[in-house]
Structure 1
């Protein structure tokens, strides 16, 4: 009798679980869309370090957090601090220019047409070597990168090291060291 009750209660609960999964999927984009060159998905461009466009092309909101795609156009020979993502893999495709990537302790130069895979939990950074550069990069799953870039963009003046770590931690990352220098 206990087995029958278990089976019946499981069968009754199954449609509730299936329905809740469908409810979550309602946030996913149901229609295709186009994002024009030089534009942000939501017309809310984010400037990396106040100068370089870092536009959302495919939002976490479009994919239920499964994927985010950004386009970065660099006009400065800069890059991020050495950092690690706890839950996201990153893939960078170089559209224009030349970049030096560091993956753990290995360094590689990438040029237009090259792709690099940066697994989660592996320290990495990059530096733009050319006067102008352009990257398309993917985060899978998307994590909180859109929110991270918006938060960093809101800062007034240089943040303290403690604030940098706090913001990174809140968005699933940790800073491990300085950026690459020439």
Structure 2
């Protein structure tokens, strides 16, 4: 009977030991606190949405072992992204300044300063700024390839074809499924 107990306990311990190794391996997050100043990006990169609107990375997936990234967007025009789907990330937006219209699936919401919206992965969504100036803090969880997407798009100087945009979105875990919103 002792041998059977030993074997049972050993077999039960193996997954626990393996899980402990996985948990330890997944704790490669930044070990020191840091501050990112207003108007600055985590690594000093100058990302601008549509070449104009600051889209500063505040917390990188490199800081969180890929679990989270945080951006600070300032808009100076009534624009927003094309209708798109994230296959692997949920998004959370908090309106810091201005008003925004969000479309998520078949629902439309107008958000004002201080409101937050959760956009689950796999649901088509977009937004448009309704005021002359606006500001959003938004989170992507997990971080995925969004930092790389914004970094690449910040270097684009000319309008890309629909096929090229589709390829870039696909390479970063997204798909464009419709045009941007208009007023």
With normalisation by structure 1, the TM-score equals 0.89
- Moved runs in structure 1, 4+ residues, more than 4 A? 4-21
Q: Secondary structure at the match of 2:121?
A: coil
Is there any run of 5+ residues in structure 1 with no aligned partner, and where? none
Does residue 25 (structure 1) correspond to residue 46 (structure 2)? The answer is no
Shift of residue 25 of structure 1? Answer: 2.7
Does residue 134 (structure 1) correspond to residue 148 (structure 2)? The answer is no
Instruction: Give CA-to-partner distance per residue, 1:17-58, whole Å, 9 cap, x none.
Output: 7456534533x1001111111111111121011000000111
Name the structure 2 match of 1:92: 93
Instruction: Give CA-to-partner distance per residue, 1:102-145, whole Å, 9 cap, x none.
Output: 11122111110111111110100000010000000011111111
How many equivalent residue pairs? Answer: 181
Q: Secondary structure at the match of 1:62?
A: coil
Name the structure 1 match of 2:151: 150
Is there any run of 5+ residues in structure 2 with no aligned partner, and where? none
Equivalence map 1:1-182=2 (5 Å): 18-19=20-21, 22-26=24-28, 28-182=29-183
Task: State how far apart, in whole Å, the 1-side matches of 2:103 and 2:110 are.
Answer: 9
Distance change (3 Å), C-alpha of 1:14 and 1:119:
closer
Distance change (3 Å), C-alpha of 1:105 and 1:20:
closer
Task: State how far apart, in whole Å, the 1-side matches of 2:72 and 2:109 are.
Answer: 21
Instruction: Give CA-to-partner distance per residue, 1:52-84, whole Å, 9 cap, x none.
Output: 000011110011111111000000110000001
Shift of residue 86 of structure 1? Answer: 0.6
Task: State how far apart, in whole Å, the 1-side matches of 2:106 and 2:15 are.
Answer: 50
Instruction: Give CA-to-partner distance per residue, 1:78-107, whole Å, 9 cap, x none.
Output: 000000101111110000001111111221
Distance change (3 Å), C-alpha of 1:86 and 1:16:
closer
Task: State how far apart, in whole Å, the 1-side matches of 2:8 and 2:163 are.
Answer: 52
Task: State how far apart, in whole Å, the 2-side matches of 1:23 and 1:117 are.
Answer: 29
